[in-house]
Amino acid sequence: MTIEWRYTVEEDLGVLSVSGYLGPDAVHRFAGAIGWVVGRGSGPVIVDLTELRSWSAEGQVAITEAARRLAAAGRSLELTAIPADGSLVPVGDCPPIPVHADLAGAYAAHSTRHGEPLQGRHEGRTTGWPTADHAAE
């Protein structure tokens, strides 16, 4: 089993939504998604795990590696809705990873920081991520 992902840019904030199971077989795909993210947008990246069923120890390490990779590019990583079956324990010299209860809370934190609501949206995704047209079916 692997993951599907969607990346949305809203002004200077990116949201990487991940669904499926972030286990050993999906780590490479997640790293590819992070590569996509590094090359697009600027500012913090919120990794929305609302649709993630679970993650393995390897998946958690992939999250901390993503935080390092984004930090090297001058960006930070934040998480929302981490899986209930475990907490993230960053390894080594990982930059801080703020965790929000849900995506609305993450948006609220950024709206508060900048004083204005987020606007302007651009999106990229895997082919398996449902589009708005298919979500209603």
Give the model confidence (pLDDT) of 18-27 as tens digits: 999 999 999 9
| Residue pair 13/43 in contact by the 8 Å Cβ criterion | yes
- Answer yes or no: is pLDDT of 121 > 70: no
- Answer yes or no: is pLDDT of 34 > 90: yes
| Position 79, amino acid | L
**Global confidence as pTM:** 0.80
Count the helix, strand and coil residues of the chain and give each as a percent rounded to the nearest 5: 30, 30, 40
CA–CA separation, 94 and 111 (whole Å): 26
- Is residue 130 a part of any domain in this protein? no
Which tokens belong to 109? Answer: 């934190």
- Is residue 116 a part of any domain in this protein? yes
pLDDT band at 122 (very low <50, low <70, confident <90, very high): very low
Number of independent structural domains in the chain:
1
- Is residue 137 a part of any domain in this protein? no
Query: What is the extent of the structural domain holding 92?
Result: 3-120
- Is residue 103 a part of any domain in this protein? yes
Nearest 10 degrees: CA dihedral of 57, 63, 68, 69?
120
- Is residue 133 a part of any domain in this protein? no
- Is residue 129 a part of any domain in this protein? no
Mean pLDDT, the chain, as a whole number? 82
Which tokens belong to 130? Answer: 């449902």
HSE, CB side, 13 Å, CA atoms: give it for residue 114: 15
- Is residue 128 a part of any domain in this protein? no
CATH code (residue 80)? 3.30.750.24
**pLDDT per residue as tens digits for the range 82-119:** 887 656 666 667 888 888 989 888 888 887 554 444 44
Q: Which residue has the tokens 């992902």?
A: 5
Long-range pairs, 35-38, Cβ under 8 A, ≥24: 36/7, 36/124, 37/7, 37/70, 38/69, 38/70, 38/73, 38/75
- Is residue 93 a part of any domain in this protein? yes
Taking residues 54-61, report their average pLDDT.
Answer: 90
